[in-house]
Structure 1
Amino acid sequence: MVQENAIIVFARRGCCMSHVAKRLLLGLGVNPAVYEIDEADEISVLEELEMAAHNKNEVQFPALFIGGKLFGGLDTLMAAHISGELVPILKEAGALWL
């Protein structure tokens, strides 16, 4: 699933930080695949994402995968956006065509 989409957001259902991540991407013209996780499924989904990312304890919600690799959470997304690095990363992954 991670390899099949240019950008995926794994988000907690109803989480304000997940909402911010989705709105930022939509505002840039990116239409990410979004998977909302229920609280009951959170631990099993985190374990699967850690295996996909090959990183233990590095995955947090919202978890963004760009170009099939773990990009990070909201803090990483915001830092890349503020520094101007996000748009080139999204273009390279094929998520943005500007």
Structure 2
Amino acid sequence: MDRVNYLASKRAAVIFTKSTCCMCHSIKALFYELGASPAIHELDAEASGREMEWALRGLGCNPSVPAVFIGGKFFGSAKDVISSHVDGSLKQRLIDARAIWF
């Protein structure tokens, strides 16, 4: 959990993903479309990826990826990101965290 929290605090927007996950790809594309440049951590390419995956599950991510952190805090999974995008709050959250500027 320490490694996840450390990585999540390094950038305004952080996404933990797996390279084979289609939802991960969609969430990354959405962030890029909104103008954010999130830090991407591919768990299947990280030496401690399995441990980080279990830590993310401990936060309530099921499935464990994509797991999104905004402003150093756990924001949620794909479902949470898409819901907040639809209701218009995702963009403001990214602005507040200084992940995008408008």
Q: Shorter-normalised TM-score: what interval?
A: 0.7 to 0.9
Q: How big is the alpha-carbon RMSD for the aligned residues of Structure 1 and Structure 2?
A: 1.9
TM-score by length of 1: 0.85
Q: Which runs of 5+ in 2 are unaligned?
A: 1-6
Matches of 1:31 and 1:57, distance apart in 2: 23
Q: How many residues align?
A: 93
CA contact (8 A) 2:23 2:78 kept: yes
Q: Taking structure 1 as reference, are residues 57 and 7 closer, same or farther at Cα in structure 2, changes over 3 Å only?
A: closer
User: Could you say which residue in structure 2 is the equivalent of 1:45?
Assistant: 52
Aligned counterparts, 1:52-71, within 5 A: 56-59=58-61, 60-71=64-75
Matched, 1:25 2:26: no
TM-score by length of 2: 0.82
CA contact (8 A) 2:24 2:66 kept: yes
SS of the residue 1:61 aligns to:
coil
**Residue identity (%):** 34
